[in-house]
Amino acid sequence: MPSSEFDLIHRYFAAHRIARRDVLVGIGDDAAVVQVPGDMALATSVDTLVAGVHFQHDAQADAVGHKALAAGLSDMAAMGAEPAWAVLALTLPEADETWVAGFCRGLFALADEHGVALVGGDTTRGPLSATVTVQGLVSPEAGFYRGAARVGDTVCVTGTLGDAGLALRLAAEGRRGEGANRVYLNDRLDRPSPRIGGALRMRGLVRAAIDVSDGLVADLGHILEASGVGATVLVDRLPLSPAFRACSNDIEQAVDLALAAGDDYELCFTIGGGDGPALEKVMADAACPWTPIGTIEAERGLRLIRDSGASYEGPLHGYDHFATR
Ligand code: ADP
Ligand code: MG
């Protein structure tokens, strides 16, 4: 028997236990009601995944569920906010319970890992898409704002860059196999780990931050623009994973991917020029590697240079849904 909208909501969304005491009203009323502590501000972010644009129509449902939430969690990390609540607008071509069950598995595994409660949503029929709004709590003075980079700051990134982009490229080239390295890259594309833990530990040291979803050049560019500054980035210092090095066959292509490919959901952030050792200390047990890659300067624009001192002619743009070329 086909499921109704309400069967789906009850079986898959309302059935999941909410472990947060600050959810006064969750799924089942006209709106969710949550308690915000008096001294905290609310951070809100929304992301949409559209089938055929952000994921293949035949993508695994649990990976879609994971990624639909991961994007918003990554935005919370980039603000220095602790994620708390989410709402989900899900549009399905049909009430395919197997797909919804898989989607929920991916979504709730990640939600539970970060103590996030799904408090509401909307379920409609139409072309497959998932829109997740995430809300989190941020102390207004300790938030990470794009406009806060200062001349002399060190530019850093968490984790490694380009893994998801390389996974996409290898798939587009029809390359299969390649064992554990390829599995690692595909996992980085399908199940990114938002840097919540690292971000929360960095509070007090980070000045400006952004999550790398459209490629480092584009995303760092937003920090530079908002802060009215420029930067030099040392392309030979870009952190690349062992799997990335093993699977990319030429170094220029590798550097370009690390500079311009999106979807890694790492953080790009700045700290005061002398704050590296302090950051090292707080990050030691965060399981969140980070790498200094450049310096904020007064001269506007982004300069890419090699360790030799030669300038690097890299890609100047990241991903843009409405780009005309
Ligand atoms: P309304 O008609 O008031 O918009 P709905 O019938 O759309 O309410 O939804 C009923 C309840 O189920 C609401 O509390 C809503 O937030 C929740 N809900 C609907 N779809 C989802 C979903 N995909 N995920 C989580 N909660 C959902
Ligand atoms: Mg509704």
Strands 129-138 and 82-92: antiparallel
pTM (predicted TM-score): 0.93
Name the closest ligand to CA 30: 1
Alpha-carbon gap, residue 113 to 111, rounded angstroms: 5
Centroid of ligand 1 to alpha carbon of 314 (angstroms): 46
- Count, in order, helices (H) and strands (E) of the chain: 10, 12
Quick one: pLDDT band at residue 286, thresholds 50, 70, 90? confident
121 lines ligand 1 (CB under 6 A): yes
Q: Which ligand 1 atom is at minimum distance from the Cα of 90?
A: 23
Q: What is the pLDDT of residues 288-313, one digit of tens each?
A: 999 999 999 999 999 999 999 999 98
244 lines ligand 1 (CB under 6 A): no
DSSP 53: T
Give mean pLDDT, residues 196-224.
96
pLDDT > 90 in the chain, percent: 82
13 lines ligand 1 (CB under 6 A): yes
For residue 283, the one-letter residue type is M
9 lines ligand 1 (CB under 6 A): yes
Give mean pLDDT, residues 186-198.
95
Predicted pLDDT of residue 321:
54
CA separation, residue 306 to residues 162, 218, 247, 303, 315 (Å):
18, 19, 22, 10, 14
Cα atoms in the 13 Å half-sphere on the side-chain side of 197:
13
29 lines ligand 1 (CB under 6 A): yes
Centroid of ligand 2 to alpha carbon of 249 (angstroms): 49
**CA dihedral angle for residue 302, residue 296, residue 215, residue 116, rounded to 10 degrees:** -160
In 3D, which of 120, 99, 97, 117 has the Cα closest to residue 108?
A: 117
Under a CB-based contact definition with an 8 Å cutoff, are residues 259 and 302 in contact?
Answer: no
Quick one: pLDDT band at residue 318, thresholds 50, 70, 90? low
Q: What is the pLDDT of residues 38-51, one digit of tens each?
A: 999 999 999 999 99
